Amino acid sequence: MLCCCCCCCCFYCLSVAAAVGTACWRFLFTLLLFFLSFLCFSTISLVISKGCNFVLYRMSLVHHFFHVKGGVTTNTAKNNTGSSESGTAAETIHVAVQGCCHGELDHIYAACAAHEKATGRRIEFVVCCGDFQAVRDEADLRSMAVPQKYCVLGDFSAYYRREKHAPYLTLFVGGNHEGSDWLATECYGGFLAPNIYYIGHSGAVIVDDRVTIAGLSGIFKGHDYARPYPSRPFHASEAAKRSAYHVRRIEVEKLRAFSQALERMRQPASSLVTASMAAPSASPSRCAGEFPHIDLFLSHDWPAGITKYGDETQLLRYKPFFEEDIRHGALGNPHTMPLLRAVKPRYWLAAHLHCQFEATIPHHDVENDAAAAGVPRATKFLALDKCSKGKGFIDFIDVRVSRGAHPTTEKNREQTAREQRRVVHHPLWLEVLRETHGFLTSNNNEWSADSCALLRLTPDELRHRGIWLPASSTASVLEALVLPPAPLQRPPRGEDARRRTHASAL
């Protein structure tokens, strides 16, 4: 509009200048014409500059989607199956990744359905990277740390009451805006509603007998990292309510021990496996050795230092107030970058900072044998925005999974689908829980990953260690491992009846 006005003014000035006969008037109108032309040129330049920055930013996201994350185009859509690096049969599954949920499940599921309709691709499951806000009722709101204007029931309550059913299997980790009391009760993981699974304060599960997902809930605060969890109920004080979602040392150490056990398990096998090595299992044909690496790792916080592996300059254009934290290495959790390098997942997915960011972290220490076993030579990092902003809150990735040596075929998979849950605890993770249960609440220095008893076992023993336990609730884990509830896991007074009702319904 401004350009059109300038052009009209210029045309008018030229007409008047031609009509005026004196040189003086012609000179004055020429100056006016020059001024208006300069204004017009400056305005157009500013608009183009701003527009180019926005277009380049969006193009960078498109570039990352197709070339970094393995998005599907007309050239790649036909190549959804193939061989893994080890030469075993492999396939690609389509997974929806959500940033901060903030209780807007209906919006997320609608976006997934629209994506399926537009692309013709089936989403296997949805993962959410925190601030899920699994709030059942007004009582749960008391333990959720949010400003008063956001202290409202979200969509989850309808799924909990079974008024709605989640159309996709949904797995999530906790953030810093959660009903912390309930999540503490289920800190070893559990279904909070049909088809909606909380991975736990930390956890590792196998989905659909082929994808291993690990996760870490909460955000990092240095003053709470080595402290015990606060006493429950958390809503008794504002300090306890906020301390409850801070990452504890014991959770990171458990994941470190698990990753080291996987690494040891991947070492060459001996030719003999004795029967005494195997632990009781609901299905003897299944063992930890069939799931030797982690495909997806979920966290709410970013690993500190992750910005150095992506477009940090573009991130600072969008979030300039990150600059000081980045300079001091304080943007994110300083303990999860070493964990990322140890775990080496295919994808590390996060949220919390309400922006979209991608990076690729190379693993130069991955040898050919490890790569053949499925360990990636690089981890792809993806952080997404919050749901309420409408853009950048959800994305879709292709995850290459190997069926390995498991005898399950499509036919008997369909036959057993009604009998088995889609989510199963990783057998070695259960062994880590068994060993660390007594240190959970105290979070002291008496136990660390380096002292983990699992690491004294041989690779063959690790492959056949543990039990095959379908995921249900933290109570079912404690029962299977013959462990008493830790103080952190005991429900507040008056909650027992509600918990029993919930468990029986699931």
Q: Name the strand (E) or helix (H) holding 396.
A: strand 394-402
Torsion of CA 483, 488, 490, 493, to 10 degrees: 160
Q: Cα(426)–Cα(466) distance, rounded to whole angstroms?
A: 8
The H or E element spanning position 13 is helix 2-19
- Close Cβ partners of 162 (under 8 Å, ≥ 6 residues apart): 193, 194, 505
Task: Give the dihedral sign, CA 166/167/169/171.
Answer: negative
What pLDDT sits at residue 146?
87
- Taking the chain (506 residues) in consecutive chunks of 10 residues, what is each chunk's mean pLDDT? 49 50 57 62 52 41 36 33 45 94 94 96 97 94 88 93 97 94 97 97 96 97 96 92 97 98 85 43 64 95 96 94 93 97 96 94 81 82 83 89 49 44 96 97 92 94 94 97 95 61 55
pLDDT at 38: 60
pLDDT score, position 493: 66
Burial 184-213 (b: 16+ CB within 10 A, else e): bbbbbbbbbbebbbbbbbbbbbbbebbbbb
Q: State the SS3 of 412-450.
A: HHHHHCCCCCCEEECHHHHHHHHHHHHHCCCCCCCCCHH
Tell me what pLDDT residue 470 has: 96
- Tokens (6 digits) for 451: 């002292």
- Domains of the chain, start order: 82-267+278-405+423-505 (3.60.21.10)
* 202: Cα within 13 Å, side-chain hemisphere: 24
Residues 78 and 221: their CA atoms lie apart, in Å, by 46
Residue among 73, 112, 69, 78 nearest 400 (CA): 69
**CA distance linking residue 204 with residue 330, whole number of Å:** 27
CA distance linking residue 412 with residue 388, whole number of Å: 42
> From the centroid of its chain, how far is CA 143?
23
Burial class of residue 134, CB neighbours in 10 A (0-12, 13-18, 19+): buried
CB 441 within 8 A of CB 228: yes
CB count within 10 Å of CB 3 equals 13
Q: Please tell me the predicted confidence (pLDDT) of residue 50.
A: 45
